[in-house]
Amino acid sequence: MILETKIEKKESGVLQVDCKIDAKHIEKSMNQALNEVHKKAKIKGFREGKAPIAMIKKLYGGDVKYQALNQILPQAYEQIVKDNNLKPITMPEFSGYDQMEEGQDLNLSFTIEVAPAIEKMADIKEAEGKKIEFEYNLEEILEKELKILQ
């Protein structure tokens, strides 16, 4: 499905991911979407699901492309996240998907923000603290409190 992937760190926690999706996978997704649209298409002069494929492509090409993208984008995203052990904390912002054509590889890009890496937790035994001692006279405090109450 994915031919190549390039991950580039943009700023703290933001990654730019560029990938190339195989033309065969795009064609398969487009054909599945076309079949789904073909089953439900209502074109005057034809029974439901019986219109010629060429007519479906002409009339419903945008819908077919949209359905194919709704299948391709999540698959590509999930595979890249899994293969590269990424921990995204935001939804991806895709670009390049509008260039999708049947029979051509798709160059797709998206940006995500990932969780910061925690290198090493400090050992509690290594932590230092200062001991602060307070001096007070209990009798003086009690006297002041009693005067306030009176």
Q: How far is CA 68 from CA 10, 16, 25, 102, 116, in A?
A: 29, 23, 10, 10, 33
CB atoms near residue 37 (< 10 Å): 20
For residue 138, what is the enclosing H or E element?
Answer: helix 138-149
Using one digit for the tens of pLDDT, what is the confidence trace for 12-25?
A: 889 999 999 999 99
Stated length of the chain: 150
Using one digit for the tens of pLDDT, what is the confidence trace for 65-110?
A: 999 999 999 999 999 999 999 999 999 999 998 998 888 999 999 9
